[in-house]
Structure 1
Amino acid sequence: MSRFVDTMVATASGAGGQKRGMTTGEPNAPVRRSWAEVHEQATRMAGALVADGVARGESVAVLAGDPAVIAPAVQATWLVGGSMTMLHQPTARTDLAEWAADTLRVLRMINAKLVLLGAPFDALSGVLDEHGVAYRKLDELSGEPLEAPVDVDEDMPALLQLTSGSTADPKAVRITHGNLWSNAKAMETAAELDPETDRMVSWLPLFHDMGMVGFLTVPMLFGIDLVKVTPVDFLTRPTLWPDLISRYQGTITAAPNFAYAFAARRMKGVDDGAFDLSKLRIALNGAEPIDPVAVKAFTDAGERFGLRPECVLCAYGMAETTLGVAFAPVFTGIAVDVVDPEELEAGHRAVPVPADSPNARAFPLLGPPLPGLEVQVVDSEGAVLGEREVGQLRVRGEAVTPGYLTVDGPLDTQDADGWLDTGDEGYVADGQVVVCGRRKDVIIMGGRNIYPTDIERAAAAVEGVRAGNAMAVRLDAGTRRERFAVVVESKLAGEDDAVRALSKEISARVMDAVSVRPYSVVVLKPGSLPKTPSGKLRRSAAAALVPAG
């Protein structure tokens, strides 16, 4: 039996399931439903899925925007013993022909039995019809309630989580029921979750692992109050986020760097007393390399609304471990490890130095591994490294996926001893994990390892560069004359004199930060940088934007 499904059903059936639930529809038409009501709708959806022939172990895809219909649809899939996949959503700028081709690749890869289609994507039914893809509209999905969940084993897939890479070459992480249960329980312990007092507030996309697992599955599993809006709601009105935290007395939220910086700028224009952020105990950041400057901007802007800087929780996570790998201790705020740049880049050691040391590197401490997980640092030959030695991070434990689904078939993720290569460079300091950067993005020059985040933060500090839109691009990777370029977005793009001055300033700032001058600086108009569907920078794809020379 699936401990995950058993607990989800028990939560919905208990007193907590009646008392707590999910609020959607903010800011225009908020609706609150208890987890018991969500479950009741899920049983009717599950009955319809069974009538449609969806059987134990089969894959169901979901394409919808409204969390109010996504939550019961996801639960219904689990009740019938299926696995679910949230499809990447097209935006106003998406080429629908490309999106359709990419989505069809995904559906073939996961061998989807059915697509569940909901607003605002109902109009895409014609694309699915054209290609003979079976689908049901969510507002019509209802049948006789399923009497009891279908029995599944712990090693059966519950979630096929699409990774954030190119959708033209898709890959899905196979998360089993056992993986999901283990990581959810570990995060419950590390975050000290309390259904009686916690209330989660989120706008994160549900096709991303943090949105789906952290801010839908976990509250549904343990019966925690949830206020859920969409990314479009946040981007349309960034102050909606602190407003919801204030009105609902939210205690837990999460976001990537750009959102903290974005909200900080908008909060500056809000009157004193407009928000009450004093109840927030966890503001998690862990979806990408954490930018201490962006986080501090958020806590500084929120201070006059009662926001306490201790609420910042730095974390390390990835879809391959279901979600979480390491959490910093709760309510201790952001802590950074300041290290010698030369020892880091040339000696591959993280040697502590005073915070005011010239060109010192500062990395957030991401906490110890979650319960049930081990993190190890190894060199390129697989030899285990010691404290503060920089190498390849790998992880092992019950939450680690057994494999990927790819267009070329299944792919194992673990070695013979159960270790997963994370693809990240980092080290361990006093038991806490530190991530320096993605191994494939590290720029190697003259025997030094230069991390792109150091370059990007220097470039982003230049007036005229859009916040969160600076990218260090590795050129001639693996050759003796490896180089790098800096690609940024700016409203000055197209103004020749202004671009020359901006490029000169960026080059100087980068030189000051890493002691190497970029091969070139490319200034693009806003919206030009390649990003994943979840908004992360795609450095490898940006190489095509750098003129050859």
Structure 2
Amino acid sequence: MESVGYEFVKRNKENHQKIAVEFFQNNSLNVQYNYETLIQRAQSIAHHLVESGYSNKRVLVLIEPGIDYIVAFWACVFAHAVAVPVMVPLNMSTADNLNFIAADAQISALLTSTVVSRKLTKLYQIKKSTNYHVTSVFRKLLNCFRRNKESNITIRSVPWIIVTDHYDNQVPFTMIPSVEEEHVTFLQYTSGSTSNPKGVIVTNKAILKNTEQIYGTFVNKIDRAISWLPPYHDMGLIGAIICPLLYGKTLYLMSPFDFIKNPQNFLRLVNEAKTEIVAMPNFAYNLLISKAKDDTFNCYDLSSMKFWLSGAEPINHDTLMKFVRAFSSVGVRHETIFPVYGLAEATLLVSGVKENEPFLTLYINKEAYENNLIDIVDEYHPNALPLVSCGRVVEGLDLRIVEPKTNTLCKELEVGEICLSGSNIAGGYWKKIEETSKSFNHRIPNSQLNYFRTGDLAFIYQNQLFITGRLKDLIILNGKNYYPQDIEMIVGESDPGLRGGCAAFTITSDEREKLIIVCEVKHKIHDYLTIKQNIREKIVHHFHINVDEIVLIRQRSIPRTSIVSLSS
């Protein structure tokens, strides 16, 4: 079949002078590539990769978010090198992940930028010093240069290629137009929040199929997309970069760090560029809502936006409603809100609310829900709990809801595990044969297909998908089921001194399950006793359960992996 890279060049043959990407930095749009420049520079690097023997080898893409990241990724695609997108390490957790990924993927080269290479070189020089004292975060970063026990690969042991060094190389490049369907285009490493990251094998076939599905659902209705999502994340890479560019759209890009630091710049960019689509997780909508109190936002016109996609995190009905109310005066409409569901193992998109079909909110009985039953009630019922639909399954994907213990198909309104089969499903987990077989080759009754077990729980109602939680995360107390995201949402609303980060889980102690809650508090807060009391009262009121232990921490004082280790 034709390769993703060949398709990219072929489809944009008439778009050479059209703007492909504009990058927002220093409070303005000041870096701009048309399709001709983007393709030429990517092919220059691809030529170097091919000449250096990196075709079909794994190449780490370690660059700060921006246009250089996009160029480097397409260079790997053109050269048929297997891209391994990763984030520049910022803390202990991401430094550990980088070290693990480099060894696990058995990388042969590193594509990077001048900025990142200088930072890493400085760290390496610190490591070589016989007398140095560094923080624990830097110590973890230095581990990136140390050899893994099971591998000789480190980021220092492979060649570093500075992408900008090859931008002006006017060299002929002939792309091989076709590849095998199962050709590995890139490895998408999962977050690894509770374990080592797993490399999802994203194939040529899967990318072409899922981008076609995304195009048919959303992208065919727009010409200008905007994104601040990390380019190493599946929603940021597939949904915000690969798909729009494959179909000749213009992408307006800003760094995730810029968005978090000043989300008002995002609204300003929407206003200036008249963008039409964005995908963001729930927390980003909350961040924008928190800034809506500032009168200056009224000067922005957001009416150009046709699609506000919400995904990658549990979708909160109240957040979506607050967002519409906060920005309705500047053009945000209820009918432009589109909840979506996806995951890396499906390349990205699984389901989404379609245009001209407002997202469906279902009110269910909270008490029945705790017993794994779906009982639809009126919005004003005293036990009403709103659940937001993630829309209809994309065309060409077979989705089944299966009872995880008995492997029987669930009926409408019965909660079970989502199982998927289709051309957009990934090729498995890198170097994890047993786990690939268990997760990707599942069989269900009356079907000869292999299904991927997502581990996500959901039910179907009126052909729409409603996500309820994660199978492994399910909290069972006194025989009743509780989803951690529901508890975490209530905790977040219990006291103004809480910052937002929260984790709810159980541990087994004294022969029973105990509920533990860990959450971040604002730096200036000192009245911990009142906060804990407010949390307990909220949890008792909403769920009729007691919290065994509440741990309050300062922002970023411990990573989530450390929180999880408390339960082991």
What per-residue deviation string (whole Å, max 9, x for no partner) do you get for residues 510-547 of structure 1? Answer: 1111111211222111223634xxxxxx6xx524458x
Contact 1:489 1:525 in 2 (8 A): yes
Matched residues in 2 for 1:545 and 1:162: separation?
Answer: 25
Matches within 5 A, 1:75-94: 75-91=74-90, 94=91
Q: 1:342 to 1:480 in 2, by over 3 A?
A: farther
Write out aligned runs for 1:254-269 (5 A).
254-269=279-294
The alignment status of 1:542 with 2:537, answered yes or no, reads: no
Match in the other structure for 1:351? 375
Matches within 5 A, 1:526-541: 526-528=555-557, 530-531=559-560, 541=562
2:468 to 436, 440, 448: 436
CA contact (8 A) 1:490 1:523 kept: yes
Distance across 1 between alignment mates of 2:426 and 2:203: 7
Which secondary structure state, in structure 1, belongs to the residue aligned with residue 392 of structure 2? coil
Q: Is 2:335 the partner of 1:310? A: yes
Counterpart CA distance in 2 for 1:133 and 1:462 is: 50
Question: 2:218 aligns to what?
Answer: 191
State the alpha-carbon separation in 2 of the partners of residues 165 and 315 from structure 1: 22
Which whole-Å CA distance do the structure 1 matches of 2:16 and 2:483 have between them?
Answer: 47
The secondary structure found in structure 2 opposite 1:513 is helix
What's the CA shift string for 1:311-344, capped at 9, x where partnerless?
1110111000000110112254443211112222
**Pairwise CA distance, 1:138:** 1.4
Relative to 1, partners in 2 of residues 1:529 and 1:493: Cα closer, same or farther, differing over 3 Å? farther
Name the counterpart of 1:514.
Answer: 543
TM-score (norm 2): 0.87
Label 1:370 to 1:54 Cα distance change in 2 as closer, same or farther (>3 A). same
Bigger Cα displacement from structure 2, 16-25 vs 44-53? 16-25
Displacement, 1:504?
0.8
CA shift for structure 1 position 433: 0.9
Name the aligned partner's letter for residue 523 of structure 1: L
Deviation at 1:442, TM superposition (A): 0.8
CA distance in 2, matches of 1:258, 1:484: 24
1:157 to 184, 187, 190: 184
CA distance in 2, matches of 1:313, 1:17: 32
Are positions 1:274 and 2:295 aligned together? no
**Structural RMSD (CA):** 2.4
Q: Which range is displaced more, 118-127 or 82-91?
A: 118-127
Instruction: Give TM-score scaled by structure 1 length.
Output: 0.90
1:427 partner amino acid: F
Note if 1:115 corresponds to 2:110.
Answer: yes
Q: Distance in 2 between matches of 1:465 and 1:320?
A: 38
> Does the 8 Å CA contact 1:281/1:331 hold for their aligned counterparts?
no
2:74 counterpart SS class: helix
Distance in 2 (CA, whole Å) between partners of 1:192 and 1:105 is 35
Q: Distance in 2 between matches of 1:331 and 1:365?
A: 15
CA distance in structure 1 between the aligned counterparts of 2:497 and 2:426, rounded to whole angstroms: 39
1:178 matched residue in structure 2: 205
Q: Give me the whole-angstrom Cα distance separating, in 2, the residues matched to 1:191 and 1:58.
A: 34
Q: Kindly tell me: are residues 212 and 275 of structure 1, through their superposed partners in 2, closer, same or farther at Cα, counting changes over 3 Å?
A: same
Which residue does 1:501 correspond to in 2? Answer: 530
Contact 1:79 1:150 in 2 (8 A): no
Per the alignment, residue 535 of structure 1 pairs with none
Cα distance change, pair 119–228 in 1 and its aligned pair in 2 (3 A): farther
- 1:375 paired residue among 399, 412, 423: 399
**Equivalents in 1 of 2:98, 2:194: separation in Å?**
8
Aligned partner of residue 257 in structure 2, secondary structure? helix
- The structural deviation recorded for 1:135 is 1.6
Q: Are 1:24 and 2:55 counterparts? A: no
Give structure 2 stretches of 5+ with no counterpart: 125-144, 146-153, 444-448
Distance 1:53 1:207, change over 3 A: same
1:390-429 deviation digits (Å, cap 9, x = unpaired): 1111111111112001578983341253111111111111
Structure 1 equivalent of residue 127 of structure 2: none
1:207 Cα shift? 1.1
2:352 to 308, 320, 327: 327
| CA drift at 1:134 | 1.9
- Look up the equivalent residue of 1:244 and give its one-letter code: L
Match of 2:519 among 473, 476, 488: 488
Pairing 1:281-296 to 2, within 5 Å after superposition: 281-296=306-321
Distance in 2 between residues matched to 1:255 and 1:263, nearest whole Å: 11
Quote the residue 1:448 is aligned against.
Answer: 480
Shift of 1:242: 1.0
Q: Which moved more, 1:36-45 or 1:465-474?
A: 465-474
Question: What CA distance in whole angstroms lies between the structure 1 residues aligned with 2:155 and 2:70?
Answer: 28
* Alpha-carbon separation, structure 2, partners of 1:73 and 1:131: 19
Native 8 Å contact 1:393 1:425 kept in 2 = yes
Q: Percent identity?
A: 24
Give the drift of 1:276: 0.4
Structure 1 259/45 Cα, relative in aligned 2: closer, same or farther at 3 Å?
Answer: same
C-alpha contact 2:102 2:155 (8 A) present in aligned 1: no
Is the 1:473–1:542 contact (alpha carbons within 8 Å) kept by the matching residues of 2? no
Alignment of 1:128-167 (within 5 A): 131-142=156-167, 143=169, 144-149=171-176, 151-166=178-193
Three-state SS of the structure 2 residue aligned to 1:13 is coil
Q: Secondary structure at the match of 1:440?
A: coil
CA contact (8 A) 1:23 1:32 kept: yes
In 1, the alpha carbon distance for the partners of 2:250 and 2:540 equals: 49
Cα 1:130/1:460, change in 2 over 3 Å: closer
- TM superposition shift of 1:2: 2.7
> Which deviations, in whole Å up to 9, do the C-alpha atoms of 1:35-70 show, x marking residues without a partner?
222011111111111122212x22111011142111
- Give the deviation of 1:373 after TM superposition: 0.9
Q: Write out per-residue CA displacement over residues 275-327 of structure 1, whole angstroms, 9 at most, x where no aligned residue.
A: 00001111111101112222223222211211112211101110000001101
Cα offset, 1:359, TM superposition: 2.9
Within 2, Cα distance between the matches of 1:22 and 1:344? 46
Verify: 1:68 aligned to 2:92, yes or no: no
**Contact 1:427 1:433 survives alignment (8 Å):** yes
Counterpart selection for 1:364 from 388, 409, 421: 388
1: distance between equivalents of 2:227 and 2:174? 32
Task: Write the distance in 1 (CA, Å) between the matches of 2:76 and 2:565.
Answer: 41
